[in-house]
Amino acid sequence: MIGDIQDGDALLFDDEVLIESSMMEAVRMLTERGAKRIMAGCTHGVFSGDAIERIDASSVETFVRTNTIPLPEGQDSAKLETLSVANFFGDAIKAIHHGESVSRLLD
């Protein structure tokens, strides 16, 4: 970690989260260094084992994930927010089918 986080906001993001151990260690470090608010997120939330319980027990305010992987049965949390990528994927498939640019979707 570089810089002073005391009384600041922190955003942690990872592409894939399996068991939450490395991200929760980063959350612990940010909390110890005085972060005021900590938000986290990932693209692919596998959330195996006790990952959801780790999120709930942490000082993470909100954990945002996409719906690329279904949330395991019974694994929900008030801290979890799910963003749908269905429209984006649908638009990408449509663009490819019609021979159009997919990169325009990122504008």
pLDDT tens, residue by residue, 4-19:
999 999 999 999 998 8
- Pick the closest to residue 20 from 38, 46, 2 (CA basis): 46
- Pick the closest to residue 55 from 98, 100, 18 (CA basis): 18
Q: Which CATH class is domain 9-106?
A: alpha beta
> Are the beta carbons of 79 and 63 closer than 8 angstroms?
yes
Contacts of 38 (CB under 8 A, 6+ apart): 9, 10, 11, 12, 27, 30, 31, 58, 59, 60, 61
pLDDT tens, residue by residue, 19-74:
878 899 999 999 999 999 999 999 999 998 889 999 999 999 999 999 999 987 88
pLDDT tens, residue by residue, 68-92:
999 878 888 999 999 999 999 999 9
Question: Which pLDDT score is estimated for 87?
Answer: 95
